[in-house]
Structure 1
Amino acid sequence: MNYRRLVRVSAGYDLVVTAAFVTPWTYELLRQALSAVGLALGLGAMPATDPTATMYADLMGSIVVVWAVLRLIDPHPVLGLYDGVARMLFAIWEAYAAVHGATGLLWGFFAVEVLFGVLQLAPWLSAHPPWPTRSFTARLRRSSRGSTP
Structure 2
Amino acid sequence: MSPNAFHRLFRISAWYDVLITWPYMTPVTLGVMWTTLNSAHAASGLTPLPVLTVYGTLFANFFGTVVIIWSVVRLRLNDMRLARYDAAGRWLFSTWMLYALLNGASPLLWGFLAVELCFAVLQSLPVKTPAP
What is the TM-score when the length of structure 1 is the normalising length?
0.79
Cα offsets for 1:68-117 (capped at 9, x unmatched): 11112223121100001101110111111111011111101000000011
CA distance in 1, matches of 2:18, 2:9: 14
Greater shift, 42-51 or 19-28, is seen at 42-51
Contact 1:38 1:104 in 2 (8 A): no
Q: SS of the counterpart of 2:125?
A: helix
What is the TM-score when the length of structure 2 is the normalising length?
0.89
Task: Report the counterpart of residue 82 of structure 2 in structure 1.
Answer: 79
Q: SS of the counterpart of 1:104?
A: coil
Aligned residues: 127
CA distance in 2, matches of 1:80, 1:130: 15
Contact 1:18 1:64 in 2 (8 A): yes
Higher relative contact order (CA 8 A, sep 6+): 2
Greater shift, 104-113 or 72-81, is seen at 72-81
- After superposition, the Cα gap between the structure-2 partners of 1:120 and 1:25, relative to the gap in structure 1 and judged at 3 Å, is same
Letter in 1 for 2:51: A
Contact 1:18 1:61 in 2 (8 A): yes
Task: Report the counterpart of residue 140 of structure 1 in structure 2.
Answer: none
Task: Report the counterpart of residue 18 of structure 1 in structure 2.
Answer: 21
Which aligned pairs between 1:33-112 and structure 2 lie closer than 5 A?
A: 33-112=36-115
Gaps of 5+ in 1: 124-128, 133-149
Task: Report the counterpart of residue 135 of structure 1 in structure 2.
Answer: none
Contact 1:44 1:104 in 2 (8 A): no
Gaps of 5+ in 2: none
Letter in 1 for 2:15: G
- How well do the aligned residues superpose, as a CA RMSD in angstroms? 1.5
CA distance in 2, matches of 1:122, 1:24: 37
- After superposition, the Cα gap between the structure-2 partners of 1:44 and 1:105, relative to the gap in structure 1 and judged at 3 Å, is farther
Contact 1:45 1:103 in 2 (8 A): no
